[in-house]
Amino acid sequence: MSTLCWVRRDLRLHDHAALSHALKEGEATLVFVFDKLILEKLKDKHDRRLSFIIDSLKEMEEMIRHFGSSIVIRYGDPVEEIPRLATELRVKNVYCNRDYEPYAKDRDTKVGKRLLAQGIGFDQFKDSVFFEKHEVLTNQGGVYKVFTPYKNKWIETFETSGKVIPDFTCDLGRLRKFKNSHSILDHDWYADLGFVETPSLLGGGTTNAKKRLADFAPRMSDYAEARNFPAIPGTSLLSVYIRHGNVSVRDLVRAGTARRSEGAKTWLSEIIWRDFYHMILDMYPHVTKGAFKREYDKVIFPGGAQEFKSWEEGQTGFPIVDAAMRCLNQTGMMHNRLRMVVASFLCKTLLVDWKHGEHYFAEKLLDFDLAANNGGWQWSASTGCDAQPYFRIFNPYSQSEKFDPKGEFIRQWVPELAHLNAREIHKPDPLMAPDYVRPVVSYELNRKRCLDLYSILKTTEG
């Protein structure tokens, strides 16, 4: 039997559910579609994420050339491209891995319908998460809305399954053999797509992903503590690879469960957060439009364009916030602690609607993932699941003192403050740092304003 295996956010050739199934059943052809509808919306024609994807595809192409095969590359609307290619190749089935984003679900439904009309099967497999929506339910069969009980049930489900972690092996020798003059290696796809090659600091592909995982493994035992400090390499830095599927989620669970340290447990719990947010997006797609707890949409944020501009440009006068935003703007990366600090700062100190921040992160983050980004913003704005109560507001000064105690991270990104010592740098005296912008708002004053804004919800807060 001949199958078309459509790769999307799963850019690897190992432990790949759809590809493994396709190759077990017979010959398979790999296809990747540059989605016109997504690419046209990207304003920045130097978007590093495209280079990351192309690098990943190039690595895959190099690997399968050893087997005389190639990846078919198309540019257009997948709803048209996939059924067209399936007909051209006369395949019996199209296989892919499930994607839980509303746009992807809608697209895949349309693709499935068209294929069905052409007498071609369309099957999707669980791959990008460890457990899907119906696999981790409350004892009453309900869907979890809060993280900690979800996590406990996730672990219980894993343990009662005998801790089995499937490995979807891929026999690449069974890929269809053909020559491809428009392959990702032989053709200038940047020119066709209207983008400029802009490599990121992190090179795409599975080899780089595996190197990062190997580099992190000995540091995992320190993770519980070290993960909070942006100036040191305390986290895995794998998110971009996870986002594009250069590693499988099962690779991560294997790494996290192979060790017994507190650090490994904490790291596994982050992987569970990821499953949780994907489940939330799948079950409650309204989160892409507004608050998870709908009553929170009643909060009207008074912060406007000027406050937002100071935030996005890293010119708020709050050193830790400005350092984090400048780092994001230059590298496309931001440490988790800082994401929480700047997100809380935007909506609870500058009083700007969190959805503007969510949108900005979506444009800038190399690891942008709708489920995790939306979940992170809703958590920070206290509108989501397992939200910190709204009255818990991150203090940018004390966060800075606690998590960048020597001011190393600030010094790296805010040169105007580089001469200040560890005591002075978190809340600089304007006389000592005349080149640095003054705080655009008063933290204390706006903290009170924030509490007033959210107080309209007092009656509904549990």
Ligand X SMILES: Cc1cc2nc3c(=O)[nH]c(=O)nc-3n(C[C@H](O)[C@H](O)[C@H](O)COP(=O)(O)OP(=O)(O)OC[C@H]3O[C@@H](n4cnc5c(N)ncnc54)[C@H](O)[C@@H]3O)c2cc1C
Angle of helix 319-331 relative to helix 396-403, nearest 10 degrees, comes to: 70
Nearest Cα to Cα of residue 232 among 214, 216, 252, 246: 216
- Report, in Å, the least distance between residue 251 CB and ligand X: 12
- Report, in Å, the least distance between residue 118 CB and ligand X: 36
End-to-end CA distance of the chain: 56
Q: Which of residues 356-385 bind ligand X (CB under 6 A)?
A: 361, 365, 367-369, 372-373, 375-377, 380
Nearest Cα to Cα of residue 247 among 213, 298, 197: 213
Paired strand residues for 73: 32
Binding mask 320-339 for ligand X (x = CB under 6 A): ---------------xx--x
Binding mask 223-252 for ligand X (x = CB under 6 A): ----x-------xxxxx--xx---------
Which strands, in side-by-side order, build the sheet including 93-97?
71-76, 27-35, 2-6, 93-97, 121-125
- Report, in Å, the least distance between residue 450 CB and ligand X: 17
Q: CA–CA separation, 408 vs 411, rounded Å?
A: 5
Q: Which of 154, 277, 318, 436 binds ligand X (CB under 6 A)?
A: 277
Q: Which of residues 117-146 bind ligand X (CB under 6 A)?
A: none
Task: Report the residue number, 59 or 369, with the smaller CB distance to ligand X.
Answer: 369
* Binding residue count for ligand X, defined by CB under 6 A: 29
- Report, in Å, the least distance between residue 400 CB and ligand X: 17
Task: Report the residue number, 60 or 238, with the smaller CB distance to ligand X.
Answer: 238
- Report, in Å, the least distance between residue 373 CB and ligand X: 3
- Report, in Å, the least distance between residue 360 CB and ligand X: 10
Paired strand residues for 33: 74
Is residue 343 at the binding interface for ligand X, with CB under 6 A as the rule? yes
- Which residue type occupies 342? V
Q: CA–CA separation, 33 vs 51, rounded Å?
A: 15
Task: Report the residue number, 87 or 266, with the smaller CB distance to ligand X.
Answer: 266
Alpha helix segments (H runs only) across 179-312: 189-193, 206-216, 223-226, 239-243, 249-257, 262-283, 305-312
Asked if 317 and 353 touch (Cβ cutoff 8 Å), the reply is: no
Q: What angle do CA 195, 198, 204 make, to 5 degrees?
A: 110
- Report, in Å, the least distance between residue 441 CB and ligand X: 20
Asked if 253 and 343 touch (Cβ cutoff 8 Å), the reply is: no
Q: Which of 25, 135, 270, 424 binds ligand X (CB under 6 A)?
A: 270
Q: CA–CA separation, 37 vs 77, rounded Å?
A: 7
Residue whose Cβ sits closest to ligand X: 376
Task: Report the residue number, 359 or 419, with the smaller CB distance to ligand X.
Answer: 359
- Report, in Å, the least distance between residue 425 CB and ligand X: 23
Contacting positions for ligand X (CB under 6 A): 227, 235-239, 242-243, 270-271, 273-274, 277, 335-336, 339-340, 343, 361, 365, 367-369, 372-373, 375-377, 380
